[in-house]
Homo-oligomer: A and B are copies of this chain.
Amino acid sequence: MKLSVEDLQDVGRGAAFLGTGGGGDPYIGRMLATHAIREYGMPEIIDVEALDDDAAVYTIAMLGAPTVLAEKAACGDDVDLALSRMEKYTGRKADAIIPIEIGGVNSMLPIMAAARTGLPLVDADGMGRAFPEIQMVSFNIYGVSCTPLVMTDEHLNSLVVETGHAKRAEDLERVASIEMGCSVILSSYPMTGRQVKETAVRQTMTLALEIGRAIRRGRRADNPVGELSRYLATTPYYSHCRVLFDGKVVDLRRETTQGFARGHCTLQALDGGAGEMEVIFQNEHLIAREDGRVRAMVPDLICMVDSDTAEPVPVEALKYGQRLKVMGVSAPPILRTPEALEIIGPQAFGLNETFVPVEEL
């Protein structure tokens, strides 16, 4: 598959939707990717099955608080440095790049990296959405080590972490990323082609593109949320999808603390009814409650879109008075297994709830 520069807008919008409120603004990433593509050409996007079993595949991403990513983007040299440090440390040249996270800006960073290096980009990721922490990824859930993990910043400082525990790596890179200015480039989870085949969430770059296209199509037909829902129902992962709430923002609390954007957003029904929905987030939306009753929870996707245009609205763009639809979308099945829920279920985020799929709530 080859994307066109025009496709990037659809991929970005789809990735923003899959960001479930977080993942960083793909607009920034799209600017970076577009710039890289104009200079270096569009990278080839390959299916997981096209990888040799012993290929060396490295992830590339931005890490930090989305509120900061918007102000301090990648410079390019930091991306190249992250990859070359990873290659130096593992002793293996990269054969391909894979996104760790399709949701948000990290759909775009790998496109930028692949364009700059001429490496193919794998049509897959480790989340099928966005998550706030580095251990919250299918690669880790199914046994791939997240280290050596390389971080670089725009001053070309670098840092390599090696540990047997993904949560330890998370704790270390989190404090380091805060010290490096709350926004860094990350290369982690060095994998063989076989490991990618065994653990990745497949075809998510294609899905992001098609989600973006569905929204665009829907706008022409003046029914973007409807068209989006119709498309999602046809996908292998996101087929359980419903509009949980239609309302306006009446309360919003958002702090950038401990390296994350944390807070909650309350919406009131537009019809003047008493109904309220509260959504709690840590970079991404974690749980949606309607009048105290849970309607959707992590790892299922809770996505807020503009009521009229279906434009995905990230946490950092939430505003008082905004009219939004809150959508609940099923997570890919490999994120709903018992071993997955230990790492990305509600309790992994400090919530008391036990996971119930959105289609059963």
Contacts and interface: CB of A to CB of B under 8 A. Distances in A.
Interface of A: 85, 89, 155-165, 168, 171-172, 175-176, 178-180
Given A172-B179, A179-B171, A159 B157 contact: no
The 5 closest A-B pairs by CB, nearest first: A157-B163, A160-B160, A158-B162, A175-B175, A175-B179
Contacts of A179: 171-172, 175
Contacts of A85: 162
Copies in the complex: 2
A163 B155 contact: yes
Contacts of A172: 157, 159, 176, 179-180
A201 B151 CA distance: 34
Given A172-B176, A179-B171, A161 B159 contact: yes
25 contacts: A85-B162, A89-B89, A155-B163, A155-B164, A155-B168, A156-B163, A156-B164, A157-B161, A157-B162, A157-B163, A157-B164, A157-B165, A158-B160, A158-B161, A158-B163, A159-B159, A159-B160, A159-B161, A159-B162, A159-B176, A171-B179, A172-B176, A172-B179, A175-B175, A175-B179
A333 to B, nearest CB: 33
A160 B168 CA distance: 15
A221 to B, nearest CB: 52
A141 B165 CA distance: 37
Given A156-B164, A159-B161, A171-B179, 7 more contacts: A89-B160, A155-B165, A157-B163, A158-B160, A172-B176, A172-B179, A175-B175
Pick the most buried of A157, A161, A165: most chain B CB atoms within 10 A of its CB. Answer: A157
A180 B157 CA distance: 20
Contacts of A176: 159, 172, 175-176
A261 to B, nearest CB: 20
Nearest to A91: B88
A163 B180 CA distance: 12
Contacts of A158: 160-163
Contacts of A159: 159-162, 172, 176
Contacts of A89: 89, 160
Contacts of A168: 155, 157
A160 B160 CA distance: 5
Pick the most buried of A159, A161, A176: most chain B CB atoms within 10 A of its CB. Answer: A159
